[in-house]
Amino acid sequence: MLMLAAAVGVLLQAGGDKPRLLLQDLQAGEGADPSVARAVTASVAKEISRRAVHDLVTSADVATLLGAERQRQLMGCGDESASCVAELSGALGARFVMTGAVTRLGTTWQLTLQTVDGSNAHAVGRAVQLAPDVETLVLALPMLVSDATGLPRPPEPSRAGPAVLAGAGIAVVVAGAAVLLESLFRESELSKELDLAVNTPSLLRPATSYESDVHLIVTERIVAGVTLGVGAALAAGGLVWLFLSGSRSGAVAVAPTNGGAMFALQGVWP
């Protein structure tokens, strides 16, 4: 058994200088289906790989390299005791071991992740995320994986795009309003001229001139209407985009761990 574990460790370590991280399958806690835990585990693995900081090893990788009995022995070691973490990290050549659980608390889902350094059995990071559904939990993984592995959080998404879109929409609305005001002013002046001409027919211009004025007023109204509509749509789209890009900050609370340490508990809501 020891020779097999040592051989597996050598095989897993062949492939780069990145610190190796073993991601154990997330446990399906109260109210959560095992299939949901497996799906979230795959999403966590994808996020860890995307960050490209660790050389990731999953339980599936271990299953292809270890015998069934040895796999049960190692993967059954799911607590954070020093001996357990040391056995996992030593046998698999992984310095870090990440464990976690998916739980459903009524209508709220909870995802817990924690990472332990196998070299000293000390916790590297711990994070808990609350969300109304599994999809929202997955959206929060970049932040959650960062907290659990002790890495900097990814930068907030830029709001330049929605701000520019909303600003352009407002500018188009202002332009449309200016065309509309010009049309109303032109119509008012034409009405005044016609009222004066009732008592002074000599003030009347040729009929074609009035037809041209009316055509221009109608054209300005059409242009103003289209411009106002397009501008309002652009502004509304930008504001909605801006709202959605900043609507997942959630509420933050602080909760105690079993050891008395404090960690952030953040809920993400759509």
Whether residue 51 is predicted with pLDDT greater than 80 in this model: the reply is: yes
Residue 84 pLDDT level (bands cut at 50, 70, 90): low
Whether residue 268 is predicted with pLDDT greater than 50 in this model: the reply is: no
CA–CA separation, 111 and 23 (whole Å): 14
- For β-strands 96-105 and 122-131, DSSP reports them as unpaired
Q: What is the mean predicted confidence (pLDDT) over 2-22?
A: 57
Residue 246 pLDDT level (bands cut at 50, 70, 90): low
Q: What is the mean predicted confidence (pLDDT) over 59-71?
A: 64
Q: Note down the domain range covering 36.
A: 2-155+247-267
Q: What is the mean predicted confidence (pLDDT) over 88-112?
A: 84
Residue 269 pLDDT level (bands cut at 50, 70, 90): very low
Whether residue 243 is predicted with pLDDT greater than 70 in this model: the reply is: yes
pLDDT of residue 260: 39
Q: Are residues 119 and 208 in the same domain?
A: no
Query: What are the tens digits of pLDDT across the range 102-137?
Result: 999 888 999 999 999 887 878 899 999 999 999 999
CA–CA separation, 99 and 84 (whole Å): 12
Q: Are residues 83 and 204 in the same domain?
A: no
CATH of the domain at 45: 3.40.50.10070
pLDDT of residue 196: 85
Q: Are residues 58 and 177 in the same domain?
A: no
Closest C-alpha to 131, from 143, 123, 122: 143
- % of the chain beyond a pLDDT of 70: 72
**In 222-269, which ranges are E strands?**
251-256, 262-267
How many domains in the chain? 2
Question: Taking the complete model, does pTM exceed 0.75, yes or no?
Answer: no
Q: Are residues 132 and 173 in the same domain?
A: no
Identify the weakest region by mean pLDDT among 51-65, 156-170, 212-226, 237-251.
237-251
Q: Are residues 185 and 142 in the same domain?
A: no
Q: Are residues 165 and 229 in the same domain?
A: yes
Identify the weakest region by mean pLDDT among 2-11, 62-71, 223-232.
2-11
Q: Are residues 33 and 110 in the same domain?
A: yes
Q: In 3-state terms, what secondary structure has residue 100? A: strand
Alpha carbon separation from 251 to 106, 142, 245 (Å, rounded): 19, 17, 16
Rg of the chain, C-alpha, whole Å: 33
Whether residue 152 is predicted with pLDDT greater than 60 in this model: the reply is: yes
Q: Are residues 51 and 178 in the same domain?
A: no
Q: Are residues 227 and 131 in the same domain?
A: no
Whether residue 35 is predicted with pLDDT greater than 80 in this model: the reply is: yes
pLDDT of residue 156: 67
Share in percent of the chain as helix, strand, coil (round to 5): 55, 20, 25
CA–CA separation, 21 and 264 (whole Å): 23
Q: What is the mean predicted confidence (pLDDT) over 36-44?
A: 93
Q: What value does the mean pLDDT of the chain take?
A: 78
Identify the weakest region by mean pLDDT among 8-17, 147-156, 227-236.
8-17
pLDDT of residue 264: 39
Q: Which residue has the higher pLDDT, 80 or 136?
A: 136
Q: Are residues 122 and 236 in the same domain?
A: no
pLDDT of residue 34: 92
| Beta carbons within 10 angstroms of residue 157's beta carbon | 11
Q: Are residues 241 and 260 in the same domain?
A: no
Q: Are residues 83 and 58 in the same domain?
A: yes
pLDDT of residue 245: 67
